[in-house]
Structure 1
Amino acid sequence: MMLTRLGVGGVTAIALATAAPLRAADLPPGPGQDIVNRACTGCHDSSMFTSQRKDAAGWTDTVNAMIANGAPVPPASVPTVVAYLVQNFGAPAAAAGAAPPRSKNLPPVYVPIPWQRTPGKPIDQRTPERQDNAADFPGQYRAPYMTANVQYKTEVITNKLVRPWALQFLPSGKFLITQRMGQMVIVDNQGKITELKGIPEVAWEGGQGGLLDVALDPDFRTNHRIYFAFNEPTGPKEGVGRDGAQSRIAVGRAVLDEAGAALNDLKIIFRSKPTVSITLYPTKQGSRIVFDKAGLMYVSIGNRDSTRLQPPPWNVAQDMQTHLGKIIRITTDGQAAPGNPFIGVPDALPEIWALGTRSQEGLAFDSSGRLWETEHGPRGGDELNIISKGKNYGWPLVTHGIDYPGWMVTTATHKTGLEDPRYFWDPNIAPSGLTFYYADLFPAWKGSLFVGGLHGGLLDRLTIAGDKVVGEEPLLTELNSRIRDVRVGPEGGLYVLTDDTNMLVKVTPK
């Protein structure tokens, strides 16, 4: 047996291979072999697909995803290619009583990462995805391990959530939590879960979309308003995707009736443009929400891009006529905020605040009012940015990552006129959730920036000096969980959500 790392359709997983990898010339003969040779082994080592064991439905999804990413498979030849793959690399017959195949809606499974804790050395000793990766300025990559020597304890408030995504603290002392598959719940300090009524229909199946971030209105104590981002189904529309179903990122506003466990006065205040196929592009959603001191709302809209053939195009984050791959700035009514940089600019959407971003699952203001953002790169190239008015963050014109099939997106990591990331990770940590710590409960952590890590099961504590990362410390690795969100509680504790072990965890001094 051997473990093989896969990256089909933008999701890294682990597959179990039962034989040595085949070379292209060694592929079994038969109808479809020539197309598989041409379409697959031109970009992948053949072990990437020969190690996968799928049924017809699974191979059909994979082939369609490859076509969307530029594989030269004529549509009329898809049945032949699928039949060839099933015949030679099909799922083995299930033994009596065997567990059903793993659903694509479940979180990915990763090999544990042995984070290093040697003073002065980087915590990540893995081989970079991009072999020539190097910092464009000191401190941009692989900061040294720097511990604050903090002793902490963890308390699992509940492990009965279902794919939780975002967390907010209610004045009552309870927790408001979104779950990706369309539920919003209130959790009390004893772990009791109450599901809210009045949630709109959510598109979630098969990717990274669903019910995502939630934020409280700055005047929540008086108006009880909340805002939340979600994938809104908008189809069907013929000719796009396997079933034509479409979705877009929308922002909803509602009044929370905590006692009645319901959302009232629901209004969709913002809808991103354009709608996109759910089947072909279910990933890279973005959808974090933060408010500035003036009460204006910043929302990250993921790029949901493709490398070839199907819309949206590879460079959609650079297209000013779409919200995809942008940070937008809007009022609480969903209108373009006054002072936005592209108001009145021809062929530019007025809500855009910044562009050239990819899959942004972390937004947080620091104490001086700077907006920081984390985003997923492709293979390698996860980024930490400071988001400024009207700036272009470069995707896909510059990147420290490579595309999933292994080809280069671009050789450039820096270009004049484009903003450099303040920090990047290669290989990925899959950053999700972002918060600065300014509370008093952990004095040694004051000023630290905390980043949730989906890949590697860590809460990454970054020591910041000015606008640079000068130290990195892996925390909460003992949870062995994908950390989806991290927030600072009213009393100064840290709280994290894990989307594979379905936990809400409280972190306090030991």
Structure 2
Amino acid sequence: MNTLSKLIIASSLPSLALASCAAAQTGESSGTGSGTEGLTITQMGEFEKPWAIEFAPGTDMLFVTEKEGVLKVMDTASGTSATVAGAPEVAFGGQGGFGDIAFLPSEAGANVDGRTIYLSWAEMGEDGDTRGAVVGKATLACPAMDNCALEGLEVIWRQAPKVEGRGHYSHRITFSPDESHMYIASGDRQKMTPAQDKTNTLGSIVRLNLDGTPAEGNPFAAEGGVTAEIWSYGHRNVLGMDWDAQGRLWDIEHGPAGGDELNLVEAGANYGWPTRSYGEHYNGDPITDHSDDDGFNKPAIWWTPVIAPGDMQFYTGDMFADWQGDALIAGLSSQAIVRVEIDGENAVEAARYPIEGRVRSLDIASDGSIWVATDEGKVLRLSM
């Protein structure tokens, strides 16, 4: 929509915060509550099947991928939006379509013209029956907000191999704090066992140079091929990645029936999927739980029943000062923002803030407000 929605919902946080009882598991009970007095939720726009939202650093311009293959830009000051020309053809269907958006913070400035943009999407295989995630790089040509286009878009990375099916692409993108490397989440594509096989990149997080080539110093670089791209493996479906204040990478990923995980991501580490999980298969077949001696990295916190995470970001703004350094997780089936406090390598769910709809993506605006997109198409602003 091109004008600011008039829907404003104001409510008190104590009534929004849900206790985290058996739903969040770390071996002991998690905390509850919030130190702020009130939360205002304002609908700012509406889009068709939004998958990712991302502010261009230094601006109030919000970019939105619509799953069917459209890239939009929204001037959040006025509420107007426009289509960005030159978007790629995507393999839409199931969980596939247009994916993530990423900008280089070092290119922050007053406008977006000439800025580098990274995008991910699902791509068809040559045989027409297989699919895989890809990441592309382009330059934004935006002399005016209603005259934006992608120039020189080229695919710089492909998930390997392409397989049948339309699920678990993951394809979230993040850059190391020094911007020397790009990290891409590569889901298991619902094939499970490839996540334990390093001759492919399914069920992995890959670490690349900004041109998409394998980064020097990767843990399996000596093995060559796509194995040289892998940073960590044994993942299922990673739908959020971000860096904490200490410069450590964390991910949030879907478990099967139960066992959603928040993980501290370490070089060369194996996170156990599908050999170990705190969930079970959808048909009820058991999966062995993690044990202290199983050799796999364990989640910092896990959830049964699931929260169905859609995205994750550490809060660094000023508006919600008590949340500094907390992980904010977009909840799909939980229809909430889940706030997690982290102490060292330990994590505890602090509170949940219900949202009307399945929360797919989130980002932090320059004023510290929290913006979310729901599967139902709404873009919302959370503020004090």
Same structural fold, with TM-score higher than 0.5 when normalized by the shorter chain: yes
Residue 285 in 1 paired to residue 169 in 2? yes
CA offsets per residue over residues 432-455 of structure 1, 9 Å max, x none? 111111222221222221000001
Q: Residue 126 of structure 2 corresponds to which residue in structure 1?
A: 235
1:201 aligned partner, one-letter code: E
Query: What are structure 1's unaligned runs of at least 5 residues?
Result: 1-115, 129-133, 237-243, 307-313
Q: Residue 246 of structure 1 corresponds to which residue in structure 2?
A: 130
CA shift, 1:316, in A, is 0.8
CA offsets per residue over residues 132-171 of structure 1, 9 Å max, x none? xx75xx45xx52323223412121111x201111111124
Query: Which has the larger displacement, 349-358 or 170-179?
Result: 170-179
Q: How does 1:78-477 map to 2 (within 5 A)?
A: 122-124=19-21, 135=26, 138-139=27-28, 143-158=30-45, 160-170=46-56, 171-189=58-76, 190-205=78-93, 207-221=94-108, 224-236=115-127, 245-258=129-142, 259=144, 260-277=147-164, 281-295=165-179, 296-306=181-191, 314-345=192-223, 349-412=227-290, 414-475=292-353, 477=354
1:418 aligned partner, one-letter code: F
For the residues of structure 2 that align with 1:213 and 1:195, how far apart are their CA atoms?
16
For the residues of structure 2 that align with 1:361 and 1:498, how far apart are their CA atoms?
14
Report if the CA contact (8 A) 2:371-2:382 is conserved.
Answer: yes
Q: State percent identity of aligned pairs.
A: 31
CA offsets per residue over residues 8-67 of structure 1, 9 Å max, x none? xxxxxxxxxxxxxxxxxxxxxxxxxxxxxxxxxxxxxxxxxxxxxxxxxxxxxxxxxxxx
- Give the secondary structure class of the aligned counterpart of 1:226: strand
Report if the CA contact (8 A) 2:271-2:296 is conserved.
Answer: yes
Q: How does 1:464-503 map to 2 (within 5 A)?
A: 464-475=342-353, 477=354, 479-500=355-376, 502-503=377-378
Report if the CA contact (8 A) 2:290-2:298 is conserved.
Answer: no
Query: Which has the larger displacement, 368-377 or 284-293?
Result: 284-293
CA shift, 1:181, in A, is 1.3
CA pair 396-460 structure 1, distance change in 2 beyond 3 A: same
Displacement over 6 Å in runs of 4+: 116-119
Report if the CA contact (8 A) 2:187-2:235 is conserved.
Answer: yes
Report if the CA contact (8 A) 1:343-1:350 is conserved.
Answer: yes
Report if the CA contact (8 A) 1:164-1:497 is conserved.
Answer: yes
CA pair 232-381 structure 1, distance change in 2 beyond 3 A: same
Whose radius of gyration is greater, 1 or 2?
A: 1
RMSD (CA atoms): 2.2
CA pair 391-411 structure 1, distance change in 2 beyond 3 A: closer
Residue 508 in 1 paired to residue 359 in 2? no
CA pair 460-445 structure 1, distance change in 2 beyond 3 A: same
Report if the CA contact (8 A) 1:399-1:413 is conserved.
Answer: no
For the residues of structure 1 that align with 2:299 and 2:308, how far apart are their CA atoms?
15
CA pair 220-117 structure 1, distance change in 2 beyond 3 A: same
The TM-score with structure 1 as length reference comes to: 0.67
CA offsets per residue over residues 152-197 of structure 1, 9 Å max, x none? 2121111x20111111112442111111111110011233221111
Higher relative contact order structure (alpha carbons within 8 Å, sequence separation ≥ 6):
2
For the residues of structure 1 that align with 2:198 and 2:347, how far apart are their CA atoms?
31
Q: Residue 71 of structure 1 corresponds to which residue in structure 2?
A: none
For the residues of structure 1 that align with 2:294 and 2:100, how far apart are their CA atoms?
33
CA offsets per residue over residues 295-337 of structure 1, 9 Å max, x none? 110110000133xxxxxxx311011011100000111110001
1:162 aligned partner, one-letter code: E
CA shift, 1:412, in A, is 4.4
For the residues of structure 1 that align with 2:312 and 2:231, how far apart are their CA atoms?
19
CA shift, 1:261, in A, is 1.6
- Give the secondary structure class of the aligned counterpart of 1:204: coil
1:210 aligned partner, one-letter code: G
Report if the CA contact (8 A) 1:229-1:252 is conserved.
Answer: yes
For the residues of structure 2 that align with 1:419 and 1:172, how far apart are their CA atoms?
38
For the residues of structure 2 that align with 1:495 and 1:412, how far apart are their CA atoms?
35
1:229 aligned partner, one-letter code: S
For the residues of structure 2 that align with 1:302 and 1:433, how far apart are their CA atoms?
14
2:50 aligned partner, one-letter code: P
1:253 aligned partner, one-letter code: K
CA pair 411-444 structure 1, distance change in 2 beyond 3 A: closer
- Give the secondary structure class of the aligned counterpart of 1:350: helix
For the residues of structure 1 that align with 2:79 and 2:289, how far apart are their CA atoms?
49
For the residues of structure 2 that align with 1:459 and 1:303, how far apart are their CA atoms?
25
- Give the secondary structure class of the aligned counterpart of 1:444: helix
For the residues of structure 1 that align with 2:120 and 2:16, how far apart are their CA atoms?
40
Report if the CA contact (8 A) 2:101-2:117 is conserved.
Answer: yes
For the residues of structure 2 that align with 1:386 and 1:346, how far apart are their CA atoms?
25
CA pair 467-182 structure 1, distance change in 2 beyond 3 A: same
1:234 aligned partner, one-letter code: G
Q: Which has the higher helix share?
A: 1
For the residues of structure 1 that align with 2:116 and 2:40, how far apart are their CA atoms?
33
For the residues of structure 2 that align with 1:503 and 1:118, how far apart are their CA atoms?
19
For the residues of structure 1 that align with 2:178 and 2:66, how far apart are their CA atoms?
29
Report if the CA contact (8 A) 1:452-1:485 is conserved.
Answer: yes
Report if the CA contact (8 A) 2:51-2:375 is conserved.
Answer: yes
For the residues of structure 2 that align with 1:166 and 1:348, how far apart are their CA atoms?
27
CA shift, 1:293, in A, is 2.2
Query: What are structure 2's unaligned runs of at least 5 residues?
Result: 1-13
Q: Which has the higher strand share?
A: 2
CA offsets per residue over residues 402-436 of structure 1, 9 Å max, x none? 11111113354554321000000001110111111
